[in-house]
Chains A and B, each alone.
Chain A
Amino acid sequence: MNLREIVRSRELLYFLVWRDVKIRYKQTLLGVAWAVLQPLATMLVFTVFFGNLAKISTDDEAVPYAVFSYIALLPWTFFAAALTNAGNSLVTNTDLLTKVYFPRAILPASTVLAGLVDLAIASVLLLPLLAFYGITPDATILVLPLAVGLLVLLALGLGMFLAALNVAYRDVKYALPFAVQLLLFVTPVIYPTTIIPEKFRYLMALNPLGGIIETCRAAVLPGRAIDWGQFGVAAAVTAVVFAAGALYFHSTERRFADIV
């Protein structure tokens, strides 16, 4: 995996992202509305069941559960889709792998970046939602790009690892949806990190997605301090995951065309 080559192939990356986005909404009735619909519907269901009935706390009386969960559902929905699509990106593009040469990492990267387009569209809905509840973000919102950057790296690193593994073992294809489902429950999307007993928090910190999502919440919602310790651990774990994913991908990519 040659970085210079990837940079040289950036136009191919652009075209593959464009293809993914374009195809996703072709021949659909609602088009890009689907990007909003998924986190929106999930948020509504969560708000009724977890917010109103189970009365899960949002840490802050002033923050309604709808906003609390929607902010977390944006990165979560992106991550779940990016991981699934990146993990399957090599096996669904078998004809490209076996017929043309290009830096292989472009495939998982393009699916992750295509997911960012959906994330951007779905994020637009956050504005009227915040306005409705009279919430005005403060300067901490500037941290948001940092958290999103980390989110992309995490999805890419894990996505590359799973994509490479999927080439040799199709178990990945079957295990992925299930794993993503489980991941939702061990990540503070439905609940805040604070409901976890203090002595087990370090275990939660191992899931960098939690730190990233909590940082997103703290960045958007005023009066919620960013837990830099949690964010730092998340960044460190993400760096390790990304490096490991990229390394594994690099060490196996020469065999992709032979065994896929």
Chain B
Amino acid sequence: MARHSIVCEGLSKQYRIGADRGEMMLREALVRAITRPFRKPSEDELIWALRDVSLEVGEDEVVGVVGRNGSGKTTLLKLLSRITYPTSGSVQVEGRVASLVEVGTGFHNELSGRENVFLNGSIMGLKRREIAEHFDAIVEFSGVGRFIDTPIKRYSTGMRLRLGFAVAAHLFPDVLLVDEVLAVGDAEFQQKCLDTLHDVGQSGRTVLFVSHNLEAVESLCPRTIWIDRGWLRMDGPSREVIASYMEETTTGHAASVDLTEDAHRSGGREARFTRIEFLDAEGRPKDVVQSGDALTLRLHYHAERQVRQPYFGLILSTEFGALVAHPNSWTDGLEVGSIGPGDGSIDLVIDRLPLMPGAFPITLWMNRHSDSQPIDHLDHCAVLTVKPPERDLIGRILERRTGAVYLDSHWEIPA
């Protein structure tokens, strides 16, 4: 076997959560020091993001990393790239490391595309000479073309993404750590990312690829590791690991998902989503959702105070991140009126679910009417798992992914 470029031993990382986290004011720290001088943070204020992970990755290996949201995948990448440091254990990474936790890190709106390429490139660790050398190739790759001297605040989201990824594609590191870059952008962009990763992998470099796109992981990576609640659950050939992972994550379907603890939220917070329920036409909890079913998504919320005329939206996407549907109460003509203070709920009623079997991440939001700013925005807070319809008696639909939309259609031969 070739030399190892990544060696971790007993890697653990503990985070503090709750009151101790983030912007503590000096006053609180002083009060705490005076009132509870010898108190150690209690166990429930600490979480292990990663526990005792030992891992060796060879010089020319391309390894996939799978696991649920919050299982510690990103923490692992951050430890490998020295953005953060382990609580215990050791990390050793040989050669130049590039971590793509996102693309376009440090992009500044006021600067032109050209200026941002140099800025971002140097943030990612390139020398000015190297950026200049690859500059034309980067512009070509991004497809930004004649807008390269325009301030990027005039760019579309897609253009920014492509420019950011174009720089990333020309980093030529020894070790490339990729975190879910593919969750953004359109299908074409995602394909481009995958092709680039494939090329990097082929060129004998070490790649660690974190993704929810299991299909991409399987096709890019011969080996996959599965991280589950901080532990290294499984490490082996991708096909086997992904099969076990799929088996555990897609069996059963919680008819109700608690959202109060979801960390991936943003917004003004005067109201928050607390729960999403999957119900059938009669309002009973629905454990199994099948293509073509009647389905009601009941969104529960809690409002701290009265909120006037909020509007609600729900984004359904594929596992690959492609947008499937984005209904919202305003365009659908529902006047919500005022909500709160207190608990309430709103239903999204789907008569016949037009989705093929598969897993569809759900993003929820509610916005203020006055300034269209988010009150609460929950990224990928639940997954709608769709099973094959009853009529698929012979299991053909289950066989292979056949698009996202379940067409209300049938075949016939004209008389």
Contacts and interface: CB of A to CB of B under 8 A. Distances in A.
Interface string B11-25: 000010000011111
B127 A11 contact: yes
B83 A99 contact: yes
A199 interface: no
A168 B82 CA distance: 20
19 contacts: A11-B127, A12-B125, A15-B119, A15-B123, A19-B119, A23-B108, A23-B110, A26-B111, A27-B110, A96-B106, A98-B83, A99-B101, A100-B101, A101-B97, A169-B25, A169-B26, A171-B25, A171-B26, A259-B22
A227 interface: no
B102 interface: yes
A255 B106 CA distance: 20
A257 interface: yes
A95 interface: yes
A19 B111 CA distance: 8
A170 interface: yes
Interface centre among B29, B119, B122 (most CB of A within 10 A): B122
A61 interface: no
Given A15-B122, A100-B83, A101-B97, A170 B108 contact: no
Interface in A75-105: 93, 95-102
Interface in B116-140: 118-119, 122-125, 127-128
B367 interface: no
Contacts of B15: 258
A22 B111 contact: yes
Nearest to B118: A15
Interface residues of B, number: 33
Interface string B81-99: 1111100000000000101
Interface of B: 15, 21-27, 29, 78, 81-85, 97, 99, 101-102, 105-106, 108, 110-111, 115, 118-119, 122-125, 127-128
Contacts of B118: 15
A201 interface: no
Given A15-B118, A22-B115, A27-B110, A170 B25 contact: yes
A99 B81 CA distance: 9
A254 interface: yes
Contacts of A255: 85
Contacts of B128: 11, 14-15
Interface string A93-123: 1011111111000000000000000000000
B23 A100 contact: no
B106 A101 contact: no
B122 A95 contact: no
Given A26-B110, A254-B84, 7 more contacts: A14-B122, A19-B108, A98-B83, A99-B101, A168-B29, A169-B25, A171-B25
A19 B106 CA distance: 10
Given A15-B118, A15-B122, A259-B21, A101 B81 contact: yes
Contacts of B123: 12, 15, 96, 100, 102
B198 to A, nearest CB: 24
A184 B218 CA distance: 63
A93 B82 CA distance: 17
A61 B102 CA distance: 62
B25 A258 contact: no
A95 B120 CA distance: 12
Given A169-B24, A169-B26, A99 B84 contact: no
Contacts of A11: 122, 127-128
A28 B110 CA distance: 12
B183 to A, nearest CB: 15
A97 B128 CA distance: 21
